[in-house]
Structure 1
Amino acid sequence: MQYRNIIRILGLLVTLLSVTMLPPALVSLIYRDGGGVSFLMAFLWCLFIGGFMWYPNRAQKGELRAREGFLIVVLFWTVLASFSAIPLMLLDEPNLSVSDAFFESFSGLTTTGATILTNIDVLPHAVLFYRQQLQWLGGMGIIVLAVAVLPMLGIGGMQLYRAETPGPVKDSKMTPRIADTAKHLWYIYLSLTIACATSYWLAGMSVFDAICHSFSTIAIGGFSTHDASIGYFNSPVINLVCVFFLVIAGVNFALHYAAVQSRSIRSYIADPEFKVFIAIQIILTLICFTVLMSAGVYGDAEQALDQALFQSVSISTTAGFATTSFADWPTLLPLLLIFSSFIGGCAGSTGGGMKVVRVVLLYLQGIRELNKLVHPKAVFTIKLGSKALPNRVVEAIWGFFSAYAAVFVICMLLLLASGMDDISAFTAVAACMNNLGPGLGEVASNFASISDFSKWVLIVAMLFGRLEIFTLLVLFTPAFWRD
């Protein structure tokens, strides 16, 4: 294991992270809210520690193997999320404990969107901007950004990319060189962010709110600059803008790249995962609309459709934005929406959850097993669109699902042991592992009231969800550490 090389890379990445402390300091200067000193101090700390890690190991360069790739991805998220907590711990307002600061920073960088903060509207603009920025940086995975600057890192990036990229098929690249792939991903990501911010501004948001909410929308994060989230604006137009960009961000970014390159939407139409993803959004919206109308929750059909569409897309894509308290809807709907977050977005998107393609393959595998019961000697292949998948991919899907279920149960049992009620424990783990944010019961609005032990359990759940289970779980196998 190339430990010194890994420390060198982490040192460079921490140094890069230090630069992200400067924009909130600038925001503080513009709005004169007094929060800039903490971010400047955090900048100096990160710059010093990053340099201290890099300088003694600056000559330790070498091509990373698969094992180093997995290790550095896990260290990347844990180390950078930990360093991201520094300014939150230094702030006077809000005055956060170590556990709270770590929970907020991990939630931001993993794009979970669960928060321990209350009275968000009165927080300094620098803090509000920093939270949104964390989600934006975590949305596509800062590892991809780091791979895009490979000349500075001096490493091969394919191992990092394969360890970070979500979805069951990780060997396909949009361009021959991984650095080009990362750059194209970020060009698309940045372009969508600008388009989203402009749309929010035209729809009635202030410039500050438009920029901040575009960060968390394209990242499918869910943080907001207001306690009432998107509901603060009370605007059906803003709701539609949010829904539109959440759907775009929930689609595989490789499809966006193919569409840009070919200047055609055929890549979307031909993709089976995309079609299932859109179908899920439509079905959820129709179910929510029907139940809301039949229960008389809203006075007219237009308002019911607006709320049904927004909450269905927000929760199922794992964004977690809110226009109303969906926990107060008829019991069927809150649970249905929480369960929809287990599916999440498409592979290669900024969404959380198990990913649509995995759920589709689990369904197809179940159908194949039923067919085998009827025709034991027949040979059935699983196809995704017109492409037959090898058994290894299907086996990996089942392995992922089993590991996901095991981690979920362990985390939930730990929360129950800490004294949390069953509904709160179940939905808290679902919200954090699926990188969703809001849950039900005690964690319906925020996570401020839960114990520090529960917060640390949920931080681990966020990491498992963001790193797609196996990337983190493989570090606990003895074979990983053998030379």
Structure 2
Amino acid sequence: MHYKVILRILGILLMIFSFSMLPPLAISYIYNDGADFAFIAGFFITLVTGFLIWIPVYRVRQDLRTRDGFLITVLFWAVLGFFGAFPFMITEDPHLSFVDAVFESLSGLTTTGATVITGIDYLPKSILFYRQQLQWLGGMGIIVLAVAILPMLGIGGMQLYRAEIPGPVKDSKLTPRITETAKALWYIYLSLTIVCGVGYWLAGMDVFDAVSHSFSTVAIGGFSTHDASIGYFDSLTIELICVFFMVVSTVNFGLHFFAWRQRSISHYFKDPEFKFYISTLLGITLIALIVLIVTNTYEPAESLRKATFMVVSIATTSGFATADFAHWPAMLPFLLFVATFAGGCAGSTGGGMKVIRVLLILKQGYREIQRLVHPNAIIPVKLGKKPISDRVLEAVWGFFSVYMIVFVVMLVALLATGLDQVTAWSAVGATLNNLGPGLGNVSAHYGNLNEPAKWVLCFAMLLGRLEVFTLLVLFTPIFWKR
């Protein structure tokens, strides 16, 4: 393990992150909201700490190994959550406790969207912007941004990229060089953000809300500048724009890259994961629509509007709201919540286990049924026309098994803190899948939970963002052996 180079990179990344506090500082001066000192203090604390970590080892030049990449990734997200909490603690409003500030910071950076804050409409504009910005930075992964910068500093980044990018097949690259790959991902991400923001503005949002919500929409974060979320605007046009960009942002960014390069969208409809993903969204939306109409929850037209938005929002792990789905009739709250376990596509900003894993599990399950009828047949599992190796299938099943075990362990831990069953299992699911809103006592916010429960959920958010194994591998003896 190259501890000196790990410290050098951590120091550099902290110094880079400190500059993320300057845009909200500017917002504070523009609106004169009184929160400027919180961002000045947060900026200098983060910058100086990063500098003090970096200066003793700034001359170290070593190649990163795979284990170094995992440790840097986990350390950076954990440390970032801590330093990102300073503005929430220092400012007079909301002036959060340490655990609440870390919870809010991690929720933003991991694009979970769970909040401990109430009265969001009355927060300083700079704090509102900072929350949205945290989600935007976390959406694609600050590590990927760093991969585009670190090579200029003499540090390779392939190990970081492999540890950060979601999905079961992590060695595929969009371009031959990892730096160009990271840049390509960010160009696409930035372009989607700009187009989304302009769309919101043209639909009636003011500039501040348009920019803020474009950050959290493309990041699939779910933070809003209003307690009523997207429902605050009561605009069908805004909801349709939001639905479109939530779906686009949870599609594999590799498909967006090839669409940009080839000036064609035909490959989307040839991709098995994309087709399965869209079909699933449409199927759940249809079920929700039928139930809402049959139960007379809304008028038919309103049922279509509510069902479409909330299914897409919850299934994509965004967490925006135009209705309180937790109180919808029949099995709908449970159905929508279960959909978050699939989440978005691999290589997207969505949470959950990723659609491609669910698709591969279903395909392998069907193969086992076929083997019951033809026990000696050789039946490959295919995505499209491409057979999937047994090694990938084993990895998918291993991931699914560990994901479920982690879910159960954390559920038991939350129950041990005194939470009721509905609140506990939905809180774990909402944070592990990076969704945000849950059911029971966490359907609106997480502020009423006890401190041990919040720390458990902070760990769940990190596990979900880093796809479980990246974090759990640090707790294995073999990782630390020479």
Question: TM-score, structure 2 length as denominator?
Answer: 0.99
Equivalent in the alignment of 1:82: 82
Equivalent in the alignment of 2:36: 36
Distance 1:481 1:227 in 2: 45
Distance 1:301 1:118 in 2: 32
Distance 2:267 2:138 in 1: 26
Equivalent in the alignment of 1:47: 47
Mapping of residues 241-280 of structure 1, within 5 Å: 241-280=241-280
Q: Does 1:197 align with 2:222?
A: no
The residue type paired with residue 219 of structure 1 is A
Give 1:331 deviation, angstroms: 3.3
Equivalent in the alignment of 1:457: 456
Give 1:118 deviation, angstroms: 0.1
Distance 1:154 1:284 in 2: 49
Distance 2:160 2:201 in 1: 36
The residue type paired with residue 408 of structure 2 is V
Equivalent in the alignment of 2:136: 136
The residue type paired with residue 178 of structure 1 is I
Q: Does 1:112 align with 2:112?
A: yes
The residue type paired with residue 129 of structure 1 is F
Distance 1:153 1:49 in 2: 19
Unaligned runs of 5+ in 1: none
SS of corresponding position for 2:340: helix
Give 1:8 deviation, angstroms: 0.5
Distance 1:153 1:467 in 2: 25
Distance 1:445 1:108 in 2: 16
Equivalent in the alignment of 2:404: 405
Q: Does 1:431 align with 2:430?
A: yes
SS of corresponding position for 2:297: coil
Conserved 8 A contact 2:249-2:350: yes
Q: Does 1:393 align with 2:402?
A: no
Conserved 8 A contact 2:342-2:358: yes
Distance 1:439 1:152 in 2: 43
Mapping of residues 123-202 of structure 1, within 5 Å: 123-202=123-202
SS of corresponding position for 2:341: helix
Give 1:375 deviation, angstroms: 1.5
Equivalent in the alignment of 2:72: 72
Conserved 8 A contact 1:220-1:350: yes
Give 1:153 deviation, angstroms: 3.6
Equivalent in the alignment of 2:21: 21
RMSD between aligned alpha carbons? 0.7
Equivalent in the alignment of 1:334: 333
Give 1:82 deviation, angstroms: 1.1
Question: TM-score, structure 1 length as denominator?
Answer: 0.99
Distance 2:274 2:397 in 1: 21
Q: Does 1:302 align with 2:301?
A: yes
Give 1:243 deviation, angstroms: 0.1
Give 1:365 deviation, angstroms: 1.0
Distance 1:467 1:331 in 2: 34
Conserved 8 A contact 2:12-2:54: yes
Distance 1:283 1:61 in 2: 53
* Greater Cα shift, 34-43 or 371-380: 371-380
The residue type paired with residue 117 of structure 2 is L
Equivalent in the alignment of 1:365: 364
Equivalent in the alignment of 2:236: 236
Equivalent in the alignment of 2:223: 223
Distance 1:331 1:221 in 2: 27
Conserved 8 A contact 2:117-2:447: yes
Distance 1:319 1:328 in 2: 19
Distance 2:153 2:75 in 1: 16
Give 1:477 deviation, angstroms: 1.2
Total equivalences in the alignment: 482
Give 1:10 deviation, angstroms: 0.3
SS of corresponding position for 2:196: helix
> 1:273-313, CA deviations, whole angstroms, 9 ceiling, x for partnerless residues?
00011111111111111110011111x32211110000000
Distance 1:443 1:317 in 2: 19
Conserved 8 A contact 1:12-1:153: no
Conserved 8 A contact 1:9-1:153: no
Conserved 8 A contact 1:353-1:434: yes
> 1:14-48, CA deviations, whole angstroms, 9 ceiling, x for partnerless residues?
00010001001100000110011110111011110
Equivalent in the alignment of 1:290: 290
The residue type paired with residue 349 of structure 1 is S
The residue type paired with residue 377 of structure 1 is N
The residue type paired with residue 101 of structure 1 is A
Conserved 8 A contact 2:151-2:179: no
Distance 1:246 1:90 in 2: 33
Equivalent in the alignment of 2:348: 349
Give 1:152 deviation, angstroms: 3.8
Conserved 8 A contact 2:151-2:157: no
Distance 1:471 1:154 in 2: 24
Unaligned runs of 5+ in 2: none
Give 1:88 deviation, angstroms: 1.1
Distance 2:7 2:186 in 1: 25
SS of corresponding position for 1:342: coil
Distance 2:390 2:85 in 1: 43
